[in-house]
Structure 1
Amino acid sequence: EKAQLLTTFLWLRLFWRNEFLVWDPDECDGVSRISLPVKELWSPDIIVYEFVDDDVSQACPYVYVNHTGRIRWDRMLRLVSACNLEIFSFPFDVQNCTFTFGSYMHTIRDVRLSPALTFNEMSINSKQYLEASGEWELVDLLGETSILKFGIDEWDIITFWVVIKRRPVLYVVNLLIPSSFLMLIDILSFYLPPHSVDRASFKMTLILGYTVFLLIMNDLLPSTANGTPIIGIYFSVCLALMVISLLETVIITNVLHHSSMKYQEIPNWVRVIVLKHIANLICYRWPEDVRPPEKPQEDKPESLNNSTGPWVVQHVSQTPERHPNTNGGTISLPELQLICQYLRDLRAHLNSMQKESELQGQWCHVGYILDYLLFRIYLLLITCYAMVIITMWCIWISQ
């Protein structure tokens, strides 16, 4: 199939009449039929015009001669012929291969050809002999007699059209069903949490599996076939969709895990487009304890006692003052200032950690929203692609 060659085993039975080999059985002890070496008699040089290989079939060295001069020669042929394959619908394809029988040297002035049986009888007999299971199924056997003209010479020829259909079960089980499962797994992989699971490695494994399918299909299909099979388009587009899915995962992973995102404020255009419009478009469900972030406000300093005014430390005299503590001792003012400084640093650190956590959470929601959006776009592409494949298949069926 790779070289577009059809190997056929034929049983060829030739009949012709030799008026010089006639006798009366009554004068020859009732002998009405004898066998003679074929090399000792003239035999028609019938060949198959589509033959492309050496004839390695087993030779039959004898012929049967009837007392009326009718000669029968049975030959077993292993025929390797060229067959132009139409593989658009592979593996549901139906092939039509041609066999043309004719004389190599003798024109119609010397040899005339005609079928011994009707073409319908030949088709029925061939189907009975080919009932065994195999990759191909014989659909029909058609034929006609015609005259081949070349210059001023004419040859009698008999043309047979062998219509065969491939049994697709093997290819459906080994190619189509596993590839459909891989596409289904690729779709379901979008439900993996992108922030805690290495989704990219999982998708790379699926792409490698699809590459194996492409290599297997490349070994099955003819290298010089006319056109591209629909299954080849199917695998190529599926591989392209998987690559697009991987690129989407890379983008989402970059948004969720980029270290600089933790310290950058979300731009206003991202806040408006992604967190507002796109989130409403895809019906994004915000957690109950989280609300869509609004436009950031300027930070205002707060006092230690939760008042709105700034914390002010007034200048005092250089003479350290003593203040009584609860234990009856005294605490100097510099010690109070040092404690206040420690509290301000601690509060600033806590505010920084809280702001970093809020920014990280906001960027996570940006990544989740984009992930949901790209997932729905991916589903839309797969749906459109499936409709195109079904439409192409229906057009081929109708033709």
Structure 2
Amino acid sequence: NGGAWMSLCDGKLQCKEGHSGPTHESIQAVFDLQSFRPAVNLSNPTVTNISFTLYAVLGVKAQILTTFLWLRLYWFHEFLIWDPDECDGVTKISLPVKQLWSPDIIVYDVDDDVSQACPFVYVNHTGHIRWDRMLRLVSACNLKIFSFPFDVQNCTFTFGSYMHTNVRVSPALTFKEMSGNSKRYLEASGEWELVNILGETSILQFGIDEWDIITFWVVIKRRPILYVVNLLIPSSFLMIIDILSFYLPPHSVDRASFKMTLILGYTVFLLIMNDLLPSTANGTPIIGQSIYFSVCLALMVISLLETVIITNVLHHNSMKYKEVPNWVRIVVLKHIARLICYRWLEDEAPATKQEEGKSNNLNCTSPPTVTQTENNVPVPHSTSNYGGNCGTFHVLQGKWCHVGYILDFLLFRIYLLLISCYAMVIICMWCIWISQD
């Protein structure tokens, strides 16, 4: 082997007449030196050029990024040089990678590496070697999913030598070229699209030893259409139905049962869609069960509580026959009714004291009628007494009926205002995130 080392150091690979390329003997001499870094002067570093193509994003979940890469390594082998004119014009050959020295380049921030390396390398007559590898990487990534499903993730791949301190790394292509090549493959691949690939080289130091590393930042953006169709639109439909349920007449329809059915259906919807929502230890998406869906569920519960309050007011005196307190008349029948533009006809004004002194067993003498106000709010009234469409048409119940309708309309407007503000905040936040991409 000493003679082979000297002959290789003296010059180029030998070729024989009638042979296409270097001879088997001269290449075997290179194979015998597999354990040694291919440098005549071992103090000179071996430069390894790295490029990769992001072919697919297989999964992003629970701080784990699963990707499929086409990795390409280039390095210079000082002992694999020949003259094409002396070797029948051959400029490139392929050799088994197991028979040659190869740089021990690894990805530092990877939990699992499933590699399908090509068993051969391509050797140019100038001594430059190209080795292609297909990698399925399971790497750690600090996911920021608060803006899900309009989130943008920035994950890193750090390449460097595992053991050799005299192996230098550098990008084989510009980062713009790597990004362009990857975008062509990712355009029709899964729910993620590539935004950009950035990178820089640096030195990793442990004690007196230094390693060259190159760090790539892979910026990917989620395609939100799947989650908009499967999560946001069904949730919005249920919220719209809950809003429309306020138009059910509270005095004749069991509105509370209808709303409880909606809440039950919404809960089942959340259980079914739970697997689609990402979750991490350091954050929750805005449409996750603890934020967006939880707020929607809370609004539906508030809507149910409002219905319970109104039902209680409408039937307040069904057994007690209590008079409407004076402060309720002033606050509700006067000020709140004026605030929400709730009006009734003059002859429907609150009953006089003479009517109030009538027997508690007095019944209405004619069926109630309904007048529509300019806000399309039904106002029950009777031609013979005040408010007769609440149960037994008693005079006192008629007064409580007006109180119930006014409070119902007031709480309905407050509920609409809450939902509108919440929807505007969510939409504005998503628009900001989309524009920043």
- Give the C-alpha shift of residue 223 in structure 1: 2.6
Cα shift readout 1:182-219 (whole Å, capped 9, x = no counterpart): 22222221111011111112212222333345445643
Q: Find the residue that maps to 1:180 and give its secondary structure.
A: helix
Is residue 148 of structure 1 aligned with residue 204 of structure 2? yes
Residues matched between the structures, number:
349
Q: What letter matches 1:143 in structure 2?
A: G
Partner of 2:99: 40
Partner residue of 2:411 out of 362, 370, 374:
374
- Give the C-alpha shift of residue 230 in structure 1: 2.7
- CA separation of 1:106 and 1:265: change in aligned 2, threshold 3 A: same
d(CA) in 1 for partners of 2:136, 2:144: 23
Cα shift readout 1:303-327 (whole Å, capped 9, x = no counterpart): xxxxxxxxxxxxxxxxxxxxxxxxx
Partner residue of 1:389 out of 408, 423, 426:
426
Partner of 1:74: 132
- Is the Cα contact below 8 Å between 1:255 and 1:261 reproduced in 2? no
Partner of 1:18: 77
Q: What letter matches 1:361 in structure 2?
A: G
Q: Find the residue that maps to 1:286 and give its secondary structure.
A: coil
d(CA) in 1 for partners of 2:117, 2:435: 46
- CA separation of 1:349 and 1:101: change in aligned 2, threshold 3 A: closer
Task: Give RMSD over aligned pairs.
Answer: 2.9
Partner of 1:122: 178
Cα shift readout 1:286-344 (whole Å, capped 9, x = no counterpart): 267632234567748xxxxxxxxxxxxxxxxxxxxxxxxxxxxxxxxxxxxxxxxxxxx
- Give the C-alpha shift of residue 101 in structure 1: 0.8
- CA separation of 1:209 and 1:18: change in aligned 2, threshold 3 A: same
d(CA) in 2 for partners of 1:361, 1:136: 61
Which moves more between the two structures, 366-375 or 55-64?
55-64
Which moves more between the two structures, 289-298 or 11-20?
289-298
Q: What letter matches 1:385 in structure 2?
A: Y
After superposition, where does 1:167-316 map in structure 2 within 5 Å?
Answer: 167-215=223-271, 218-232=274-288, 233-257=291-315, 260-261=318-319, 263-286=321-344, 290-295=348-353, 299=357
TM-score, normalised on structure 2? 0.71
- CA separation of 1:83 and 1:397: change in aligned 2, threshold 3 A: same
- CA separation of 1:294 and 1:154: change in aligned 2, threshold 3 A: farther
Is residue 164 of structure 1 aligned with residue 220 of structure 2? yes
- CA separation of 1:96 and 1:213: change in aligned 2, threshold 3 A: farther
Cα shift readout 1:207-256 (whole Å, capped 9, x = no counterpart): 23333454456433433253333323332222211111100101111222
- Is the Cα contact below 8 Å between 2:321 and 2:360 reproduced in 1? no
Which moves more between the two structures, 251-260 or 172-181?
251-260
Partner of 2:148: 90
- Is the Cα contact below 8 Å between 1:5 and 1:83 reproduced in 2? yes
- Is the Cα contact below 8 Å between 1:210 and 1:239 reproduced in 2? yes
Q: What letter matches 1:43 in structure 2?
A: S
d(CA) in 1 for partners of 2:148, 2:204: 34
Q: What letter matches 2:193 in structure 1?
A: E
d(CA) in 2 for partners of 1:5, 1:298: 73
| Structure number with higher relative contact order (C-alpha < 8 Å, ≥ 6 residues apart) | 1
d(CA) in 2 for partners of 1:398, 1:32: 51
Q: Find the residue that maps to 2:148 and give its secondary structure.
A: coil
Q: What letter matches 1:16 in structure 2?
A: W
- Is the Cα contact below 8 Å between 1:2 and 1:219 reproduced in 2? no
- Give the C-alpha shift of residue 283 in structure 1: 2.4
Q: What letter matches 1:105 in structure 2?
A: M
- Is the Cα contact below 8 Å between 1:60 and 1:74 reproduced in 2? yes
Structure 1: 5+ residue stretches without partners: 301-347
- Is the Cα contact below 8 Å between 1:183 and 1:238 reproduced in 2? yes
Q: Which structure features the higher share of strand residues?
A: 2
Q: What letter matches 1:83 in structure 2?
A: C
- Is the Cα contact below 8 Å between 1:84 and 1:225 reproduced in 2? no
d(CA) in 2 for partners of 1:217, 1:298: 57
- CA separation of 1:162 and 1:266: change in aligned 2, threshold 3 A: same
Partner of 2:397: 360
Q: Find the residue that maps to 1:47 and give its secondary structure.
A: strand
Q: Find the residue that maps to 1:292 and give its secondary structure.
A: coil
Partner of 1:3: 62
d(CA) in 2 for partners of 1:277, 1:119: 68
Partner of 2:158: 100
Structure 2: 5+ residue stretches without partners: 1-59, 366-384, 386-391
- Is the Cα contact below 8 Å between 1:46 and 1:102 reproduced in 2? yes
Q: What letter matches 1:72 in structure 2?
A: R
- The percentage of aligned residue pairs carrying the same residue is 85
Cα shift readout 1:1-25 (whole Å, capped 9, x = no counterpart): 3322222111111122222333444
Q: Find the residue that maps to 1:92 and give its secondary structure.
A: coil
Partner residue of 1:139 out of 195, 198, 201:
195
- Is the Cα contact below 8 Å between 2:76 and 2:127 reproduced in 1? yes
Cα shift readout 1:374-395 (whole Å, capped 9, x = no counterpart): 1122123223333443554566
- Give the C-alpha shift of residue 26 in structure 1: 5.0
- CA separation of 1:281 and 1:21: change in aligned 2, threshold 3 A: closer
